[in-house]
Amino acid sequence: MYRLMIKTSFAAAHNLINYQGDCENLHGHNWRVEVVVSAKELDKAGLGIDFKILKKQTNSLLDELDHKYLNDLPSFKNNSPSSENISRYLFERLTETLNNENITVEKINVWESENACASYSLD
């Protein structure tokens, strides 16, 4: 099994729902996103998936979130846009577009700061 990872980022505002503290107020982050996929086989070029394709699919999805107020997006209307929920959202959406017989999205890490990360994965 081969594992590949890309890193990218987006900036957006949110406020946590049902939270007691500063984060219930409107604020923003420069989120860093790590996408980990596995490949069973390599193609004729020796690649599991071209990083260019992986980046394009991921960044296309992040464009929907970038510089937005996440609470206004349909996916977070009734679901607090926490780092945990953002990682699950990205995992589910990328699974729809990337998973096939060879490629499986394994894990999404969403960093809201240098020291705080939430992940969603197959395990």
3-state secondary structure 28-69: EEEEEEEEEEEECCCCCCCCCCCHHHHHHHHHHHHHCCCCCE
pLDDT given for residue 23 in this prediction: 83
Domains by residue range for the chain, with CATH: 2-121 (3.30.479.10)
> In the structure encoding, which two tokens stand for residue 23, read together?
């984060």
Please choose, from the candidates 58, 55, 114, 60, the residue with its C-alpha nearest in 3D space to the C-alpha of residue 87: 58
pLDDT given for residue 35 in this prediction: 98
Mean pLDDT (the chain) is 96
pTM of the model: 0.94
Residue-wise pLDDT for 24-39, tens only, equals 899 999 999 999 999 9
